[in-house]
Chains A and B, each alone.
Chain A
């Protein structure tokens, strides 16, 4: 166990549904991340939060809406998704945001396998 949990582990939803992914870290970290991992493609950074403030939005469509109520919890709200959004969604945390001068290791959760029908 890495100290980062994600729920649900699997999710199947229709294009008109609204659902949320949840991530929780028990490591006392200040930075949290959402990544998307599609088959045959590299991990794609979606959002970065540092001390609950969003510091990075990597041109993610608005049908993905992140929420970070505190440093331990991160949500990804989903609505009107497309079949091409089917992927493994990974949450990660690190002590501080990855930046010059530090070498923060990221701890990943197990991911949520999302299928959009």
Chain B
């Protein structure tokens, strides 16, 4: 069956460091992958999208990589700030449509 795994439920890092979040999948052939941010009591907010034929995407301090051989996406936040503390969700989309979400990684950036 299809499975999406995001690394450790919680990730704690020091301000200024780079946070790296992982999204692994099995039995899946996504056409593209999205990363969302979710704050407590709010709905997810879209951050970045990467297609299956793209290796890397950047947006300001954010970088996403997509390795279809390893079946893995990495999400990096450089020069992290306490305001980056949130839950980050990856979502996979197939050519058949509809998004399937991972269960998220909660990032805490300590001052």
Contacts and interface: CB of A to CB of B under 8 A. Distances in A.
A22 B53 CA distance: 38
Given A98-B93, A103-B49, A105-B34, A42 B102 contact: yes
Interface residues of A, number: 24
Contacts, number: 58
A114 to B, nearest CB: 14
A42 to B, nearest CB: 4
Contact of B43 (A56, A99, A100, A109): A109
Contact of A106 (B32, B46, B100): B46
B46 A100 contact: no
A100 B45 contact: no
Given A42-B104, A45-B99, A45-B100, 11 more contacts: A2-B43, A43-B44, A43-B89, A43-B91, A48-B98, A92-B43, A100-B31, A100-B96, A100-B97, A108-B43, A111-B43
Interface of B: 4, 31-32, 34, 41-46, 49, 51, 89, 91, 93, 95-104
